[in-house]
Structure 1
């Protein structure tokens, strides 16, 4: 390992430890078991080398939101893991997804967290069928009433959940949301929890709540988050795209 790689792995190790400590404290305050919370490390814009270093540090869930980047990066990562005889990983697609790219995403992602319309559900199901693989799905819920920015409105979530559940190769696992900019994350995630309860009453296996990022993960934990999507707090500021 080069000196730069050694320094990077120590930086990632320290940042991971700090985030795990925040999760432990947040769970203790909420009376929850930290073992029931999954950390999804968001690696968008960061290289495959960082993914492999994080995997070496025990991370198994990763998040990406750009199809071309994610597809190429994680094909490389999975080849490297297979060649080394290392365990596989779980890839979460977390960004807004165009229907014409859904089939491609269904071929390599394990979880799609941003499902918000019937056309996308149909496209993902076709892609899963073509790839002969199951796909876990979360409904993205809009908590600011602006579905144009991604997310199904809370009052339409039950209907969309039924649409997903009707597809044979899609497994409805729960809900995801981002706290609106400038909003109280506790209020936002409390509403998401209510939506999740309504869906789970109809679909008992849909028990995931993906809520909370680097700046508000504690609020997510207070309101039942089972999955946290953390990037900056672990990887640092995104690298320059120039």
Structure 2
């Protein structure tokens, strides 16, 4: 049963975020609008059902053990699931069962694991009636580590977020493109701690341009969170990953 008070709260929060995005798009002079991915990790399935009723079509999760359960429980919603967190290769088999896209592809072994998992799923026996159909393609964003100098030092000291070096992005993209079942969607990054997000996302846009010169379809730029979405939109982000501004503070972990 839907909690009317929570539904009203989420409606107001979502409307405010959509307004921020519209204003950022207008301020940037863009004519296209980036895709909103609501980051739903740690929040209950009841909240996700409310969001779907409010028109949210894309949801982001960063823990496979949580995402897999939600995807199965909420299969009737028809939303697209985006895996946005650091992904261990041994979780690839599970993630390809529900994910529309993985935004954190940052190393060769992970590309191989995703390709193998997807191939195995396509050739597996027909799923049970209660299961989702096997995925035929998985969109992959190459995650880029934009940290330098002080921000890199902060990352090393305990804030590791993953990501390939900018100089490795094209080679990793080639590997994704050459792996059957994987589709190279573009690049992804998190603004490093201590760096101006406008500068960081500007660098990401240049990396994206380099990648798309070789792979014209890989124009996606997954960037921007609750605190820096305006900078991401100005830099050309095509996908925004927004969590707390829509859902509020994370509930206590159990």
TM-score bracket, shorter-length normalisation: over 0.9
Query: 2:179 aligned with 1:171, yes or no?
Result: no
CA distance in structure 2 between the aligned counterparts of 1:7 and 1:199, rounded to whole angstroms: 46
Quote the residue 1:158 is aligned against: 170
Q: Deviations over 1:101-136 (max 9, x none)?
A: 112111211100000011000000011112222111
Q: Deviations over 1:74-122 (max 9, x none)?
A: 11011xx2xxxx5x11100000001111121112111000000110000
- State TM-score, norm by structure 1: 0.93
CA distance in structure 1 between the aligned counterparts of 2:96 and 2:211, rounded to whole angstroms: 23
Candidates 102, 110, 124, aligned match of 2:114: 124
CA distance in structure 2 between the aligned counterparts of 1:45 and 1:220, rounded to whole angstroms: 24
Structure 1 residue runs of 4 or more that deviate by more than 2 Å after TM superposition: 145-149
Instruction: Report matched runs for 1:59-98 at 5 Å.
Output: 59-78=56-75, 81=76, 88-98=78-88
- State TM-score, norm by structure 2: 0.89
User: Is the contact between residue 45 and residue 239 of structure 1 (CA under 8 Å) also seen in structure 2?
Assistant: yes
Per the TM alignment, residue 33 of structure 1 is displaced from its structure 2 partner at its CA by 2.5
Q: Deviations over 1:5-25 (max 9, x none)?
A: 111111110001100110011
Q: Structure 2 unaligned segments of length 5 or more: list them.
A: 123-134
3-state SS, counterpart of residue 99 of structure 2: coil
Quote the residue 1:218 is aligned against: 230
Quote the residue 1:27 is aligned against: 25
Quote the residue 2:145 is aligned against: 142
3-state SS, counterpart of residue 174 of structure 1: strand
3-state SS, counterpart of residue 42 of structure 2: coil
Candidates 45, 49, 55, aligned match of 2:42: 45
Aligned-CA RMSD value: 1.3
CA distance in structure 1 between the aligned counterparts of 2:224 and 2:49, rounded to whole angstroms: 24
CA distance in structure 2 between the aligned counterparts of 1:105 and 1:208, rounded to whole angstroms: 20
User: Is the contact between residue 48 and residue 74 of structure 1 (CA under 8 Å) also seen in structure 2?
Assistant: no
Per the TM alignment, residue 179 of structure 1 is displaced from its structure 2 partner at its CA by 0.1
Candidates 90, 103, 106, aligned match of 2:96: 106
Quote the residue 1:240 is aligned against: 252
CA distance in structure 1 between the aligned counterparts of 2:89 and 2:118, rounded to whole angstroms: 13
CA distance in structure 1 between the aligned counterparts of 2:11 and 2:31, rounded to whole angstroms: 22
User: Is the contact between residue 114 and residue 139 of structure 1 (CA under 8 Å) also seen in structure 2?
Assistant: yes
Quote the residue 1:18 is aligned against: 16
Per the TM alignment, residue 39 of structure 1 is displaced from its structure 2 partner at its CA by 0.1
Per the TM alignment, residue 174 of structure 1 is displaced from its structure 2 partner at its CA by 0.3
